[in-house]
Structure 1
Amino acid sequence: MEELKIGDKKGISTKRKIGKTTYEVVVHFNENATETMQDKLTRIMLRELRRKSDEKKDDFD
Protein backbone atom coordinates (compact mmCIF):
# COMPACT_ATOMS: atom_id res chain seq x y z
CA MET A 1 0.00 0.00 0.00
CA GLU A 2 1.79 3.10 -1.19
CA GLU A 3 0.37 6.55 -1.63
CA LEU A 4 2.43 9.23 -3.33
CA LYS A 5 1.25 12.75 -2.72
CA ILE A 6 2.83 15.74 -4.40
CA GLY A 7 2.24 18.85 -2.36
CA ASP A 8 3.61 22.22 -3.25
CA LYS A 9 7.04 22.61 -4.84
CA LYS A 10 8.67 22.08 -1.47
CA GLY A 11 8.23 18.34 -1.09
CA ILE A 12 6.71 14.95 -1.71
CA SER A 13 5.28 12.60 0.89
CA THR A 14 4.69 8.89 0.70
CA LYS A 15 3.21 6.35 3.10
CA ARG A 16 4.14 2.71 3.29
CA LYS A 17 2.78 0.08 5.62
CA ILE A 18 5.21 -2.57 6.82
CA GLY A 19 3.54 -5.09 9.05
CA LYS A 20 1.29 -3.21 11.44
CA THR A 21 3.32 0.00 11.25
CA THR A 22 2.66 2.78 8.74
CA TYR A 23 5.65 4.95 7.87
CA GLU A 24 5.34 8.39 6.31
CA VAL A 25 8.36 9.83 4.54
CA VAL A 26 8.46 13.44 3.47
CA VAL A 27 11.14 14.52 1.01
CA HIS A 28 12.01 18.18 0.62
CA PHE A 29 13.98 19.65 -2.25
CA ASN A 30 16.22 22.69 -2.17
CA GLU A 31 15.47 24.73 -5.27
CA ASN A 32 18.90 26.38 -4.97
CA ALA A 33 20.85 23.12 -4.79
CA THR A 34 23.90 22.80 -7.02
CA GLU A 35 24.31 19.05 -6.54
CA THR A 36 22.22 16.63 -8.63
CA MET A 37 20.50 13.63 -7.04
CA GLN A 38 22.99 11.35 -8.79
CA ASP A 39 25.91 13.38 -7.37
CA LYS A 40 24.40 13.21 -3.90
CA LEU A 41 23.82 9.43 -4.03
CA THR A 42 27.34 8.85 -5.38
CA ARG A 43 28.80 10.95 -2.56
CA ILE A 44 26.80 9.06 0.06
CA MET A 45 27.78 5.64 -1.35
CA LEU A 46 31.47 6.56 -1.55
CA ARG A 47 31.42 7.84 2.03
CA GLU A 48 29.80 4.59 3.19
CA LEU A 49 32.35 2.47 1.29
CA ARG A 50 35.23 4.46 2.83
CA ARG A 51 33.73 4.03 6.29
CA LYS A 52 33.39 0.27 5.82
CA SER A 53 36.92 0.07 4.41
CA ASP A 54 38.27 1.92 7.46
CA GLU A 55 36.39 -0.47 9.77
CA LYS A 56 38.03 -3.46 8.07
CA LYS A 57 41.47 -1.87 8.40
CA ASP A 58 40.83 -1.43 12.13
CA ASP A 59 39.95 -5.13 12.40
CA PHE A 60 43.42 -6.08 11.12
CA ASP A 61 45.29 -3.84 13.61
Structure 2
Amino acid sequence: MKTIKKIGKDTYKVIVHFNENATETMQDKLKRIMFKEMEHESNEKNNGID
Protein backbone atom coordinates (compact mmCIF):
# COMPACT_ATOMS: atom_id res chain seq x y z
CA MET A 1 0.00 0.00 0.00
CA LYS A 2 1.40 3.41 -0.94
CA THR A 3 0.17 6.92 -0.14
CA ILE A 4 1.54 10.15 -1.54
CA LYS A 5 0.67 13.45 0.16
CA LYS A 6 1.85 16.91 -0.85
CA ILE A 7 2.00 19.54 1.89
CA GLY A 8 3.17 22.90 0.62
CA LYS A 9 6.31 22.32 -1.43
CA ASP A 10 7.06 18.98 0.25
CA THR A 11 5.85 15.63 -1.05
CA TYR A 12 5.67 12.66 1.32
CA LYS A 13 5.48 9.07 0.14
CA VAL A 14 4.53 6.45 2.72
CA ILE A 15 4.77 2.77 1.90
CA VAL A 16 3.10 0.33 4.26
CA HIS A 17 3.62 -3.40 4.28
CA PHE A 18 2.04 -6.14 6.33
CA ASN A 19 3.06 -9.67 7.18
CA GLU A 20 0.35 -11.83 5.65
CA ASN A 21 1.09 -14.55 8.22
CA ALA A 22 0.71 -12.26 11.24
CA THR A 23 -1.59 -13.46 14.00
CA GLU A 24 -1.88 -10.10 15.78
CA THR A 25 -4.65 -7.75 14.63
CA MET A 26 -3.86 -4.12 13.85
CA GLN A 27 -5.92 -3.11 16.89
CA ASP A 28 -3.90 -5.44 19.14
CA LYS A 29 -0.65 -4.16 17.67
CA LEU A 30 -1.60 -0.52 18.27
CA LYS A 31 -2.68 -1.30 21.85
CA ARG A 32 0.63 -3.07 22.49
CA ILE A 33 2.62 -0.12 21.12
CA MET A 34 0.62 2.44 23.13
CA PHE A 35 0.89 0.48 26.38
CA LYS A 36 4.63 0.03 25.86
CA GLU A 37 5.04 3.79 25.29
CA MET A 38 2.96 4.60 28.38
CA GLU A 39 5.07 2.20 30.44
CA HIS A 40 8.25 3.80 29.09
CA GLU A 41 7.02 7.31 29.96
CA SER A 42 5.97 6.17 33.44
CA ASN A 43 9.42 4.66 34.05
CA GLU A 44 11.09 7.90 32.96
CA LYS A 45 8.96 9.94 35.39
CA ASN A 46 9.67 7.50 38.23
CA ASN A 47 13.40 7.78 37.54
CA GLY A 48 13.29 11.58 37.49
CA ILE A 49 13.90 11.84 33.74
CA ASP A 50 11.84 14.49 31.93
Q: Which structure carries more strand by proportion?
A: 1
Structure 1: state its 5+ residue gaps.
1-11
Identity %: 61
Distance in 2, Cα, partners of 1:17 & 1:56: 38
Offset, 1:18: 2.4
- Deviation string for 1:9-46 (max 9, x for gaps)? xxx00011223211100011111000000000000000
Secondary structure at 1:56 match in 2:
helix
Name the residue aligned to 2:7.
18
Work out whether 1:47 is the aligned partner of 2:33.
Answer: no
Offset, 1:58: 1.1
Alpha-carbon RMSD? 1.3
Q: Using structure 2 for the length normalisation, give the TM-score.
A: 0.87
Q: Using structure 1 for the length normalisation, give the TM-score.
A: 0.73
Structure 2: state its 5+ residue gaps.
none
The residue identity in structure 2 corresponding to 1:23 is: Y
